[in-house]
Amino acid sequence: MSEPAAAVVFGEALVDAFGSVLLPGGAPFNVACHLAALGLPPLMITRLGDDEAGRLLRDTAARFGLSLQAAQLDKRSARVEVREREGGHVFEIPAGQAFDRIEAAAAVQAATAATTPDWLYFGTLALREPASRAALAALRASRQQRAFVDLNWRQAGPSPQVILEMLQGIEVLKLSDAELDLVLGWLQLPSIPDVPAAGEQRAAMARLCARVGARHVLVSHGAGGAAAWDAHGCCVARAPAAPVPRMIDTVGAGDAFSALMLAGLLRQRPLATVLADAVAFASLSCGWRGALPADAALYRPWRTRLGLAAPAVTTTPPA
Ligand SMILES: Nc1ncnc2c1ncn2[C@@H]1O[C@H](COP(=O)(O)OP(=O)(O)O)[C@@H](O)[C@H]1O
Ligand SMILES: [Mg+2]
């Protein structure tokens, strides 16, 4: 019998193509890999092909102990072209990707066959087309679940109107500084410029929660750490980030943050502890290349903090 899933993760698994070099990615895929390696394997609802990119995603998932059994089969895996430009990377996300075609019936069937995880993670990119949007809506309608949403806004994603609709009734909304400004702008609320102190109260945060229906908003401030706000607009926790001894890149830092947040919430740990761990793990992730670490032994101390048994997965870094 398979282990009960700890959460449902819905959305894109894709490859980032740096020329001919393919790297696994997609925020939900990264979060699902982290959760599995932490000993909280989720049910991953996604769609991918039986091609080179699909094999890379399946191999990567296996290294982290993530099952892709519920992944739907498409004719082609999703692929994002990454171009190096002065001052950073430009991501081209073409239309008509596998994650745009997640089917509702198969998604609900997979979730129904699993045990009853009460958390659901999703982002917004995979919600740009009606098919995948309908799949998520069907999943949410099929059972009571608390939704953890990482906005992870992308130009190629859905319109603000669609996003705001999909945020209705969620439990936790994770935003970066820039995304907070964006969402406040959509809602015509005043911006919140500086890093808050715990205990601080902001009417705009309360109105944001009221408008999207979230019980908590998490705002990550890059090197400034992160803060958690409740629905009354009160900053209930704040965690500064420790300096990164050897900065490699910040790719996937938000995904590392969300994974540890979700893991801590699944384990019902106190919010301030969960936030501090999420910030610390995300900052640690800036010390490895890309979103996922090469060595899963790195999760050991985090599993211990979460009160989970020693890792079942043993991975070796690729040669
Ligand atoms: N330059 C940095 N130094 C230390 N930690 C960082 C840095 N950039 C990101 N982080 C860590 O990653 C978390 C998420 O990063 P952030 O850039 O705010 O979100 P996102 O990746 O979603 O845009 C931060 O709260 C922090 O813990
Ligand atoms: Mg992000």
Position 319 scores a pLDDT of 45
Label residue 202 exposed, middle or buried (CB < 10 Å: 0-12, 13-18, 19+).
middle
Q: Is ligand 1 within 6 A of the CB of residue 278?
A: no
Q: Distance between terminal CA atoms of the chain?
A: 33
Total residues found in the chain within this entry: 319
Tokens describing residue 101 = 């075609």
What is the residue-wise DSSP string for 107-126?
HHHHHHHS----EEEE-SGG
Ligand 2 centre distance from Cα of residue 159 (Å): 17
CATH assignment at residue 103: 3.40.1190.20
Q: Is ligand 1 within 6 A of the CB of residue 227?
A: no
Tokens describing residue 227 = 């803060």
Would 295 be classed as within a structural domain? Answer: yes
Q: What is the DSSP letter of 234?
A: B
* pLDDT tens digit at each of 319 positions of the chain: 445 678 999 999 999 998 899 999 999 999 999 999 999 999 999 999 999 999 999 999 999 999 999 999 999 999 999 988 887 778 899 999 999 999 999 999 999 888 767 899 999 999 999 999 999 999 999 988 999 999 999 999 999 999 999 999 999 999 999 999 999 999 999 888 788 888 899 999 999 999 998 999 999 999 999 999 999 999 999 999 989 989 999 999 999 999 999 999 999 999 999 999 999 999 999 999 999 999 989 999 999 999 997 655 555 554 4
Compute the distance between CA of residue 21 and CA of residue 38 in angstroms, rounded to an integer.
28
User: How many structural domains does the chain have?
Assistant: 1
Residue 80, domain extent: 8-305
Position 310 scores a pLDDT of 62
Tell me how crowded residue 240 is: count the other CB atoms within 10 A of its CB: 15
Which residue has the least CA distance to atom 5 on ligand 1?
A: 283
Would 313 be classed as within a structural domain? Answer: no
Which residue has the least CA distance to atom 7 on ligand 1?
A: 223
Q: Is ligand 1 within 6 A of the CB of residue 30?
A: no
Cα–Cα separations (whole angstroms), residue 182 to 145, 185, 216: 27, 5, 17
Tokens describing residue 212 = 């999207």
